[in-house]
Amino acid sequence: MHVHPNYLNSLVRNQTGKTLREHIQDRLIHEAKSLLVQTDWGINEISDGLGFSGQAAFTSLFKKKALVSPSEFRRNAAVSTHI
């Protein structure tokens, strides 16, 4: 794109109120939620599949963004679909 990352980040933030990093993280969490609900993959498999350096990094970001652990999210999703 021949655009400096800081400039691109500034443009995106001015238009959306979020940084590029936040957009990427939100998308990763969206994908993680889908995988947690739609597959029987383990947390480690999901973190690897989404490119995280390890399960701890994935779990930490997931908890920060979703306010529950990936395991809790999966359990809650399973309960809500069986009502």
For the cut 80, the answer to whether the pLDDT of residue 5 exceeds it is yes
Residue 4 resides in a domain: no
Q: Does the pLDDT value for residue 13 go beyond 70?
A: yes
Q: What is the pLDDT of residue 82?
A: 60
Range of the domain at 54: 20-81
Q: How many domains does the chain have?
A: 1
Nearest 10 degrees: Cα torsion 21, 22, 25, 26? -150
Residue 44 near residue 32 (C-beta atoms within 8 A): no
Q: What is the CATH number of the domain that holds 74?
A: 1.10.10.60
Instruction: Look at residue 79 and tell me whether its pLDDT is greater than 90.
Output: no
pLDDT score, position 15: 96
- Given CA atoms 42, 48, 50, 54 in this order, what sign does their dihedral have? positive
Rounded to whole angstroms, the Cα distance separating 80 from 18 reads 31
What is the rounded CA–CA span in Å between residue 5 and residue 18? 14
State pLDDT tens for residues 17-68.
Answer: 999 999 999 999 999 999 999 999 999 999 999 999 999 999 999 999 999 9
> Which tokens go with 61?
């970001």
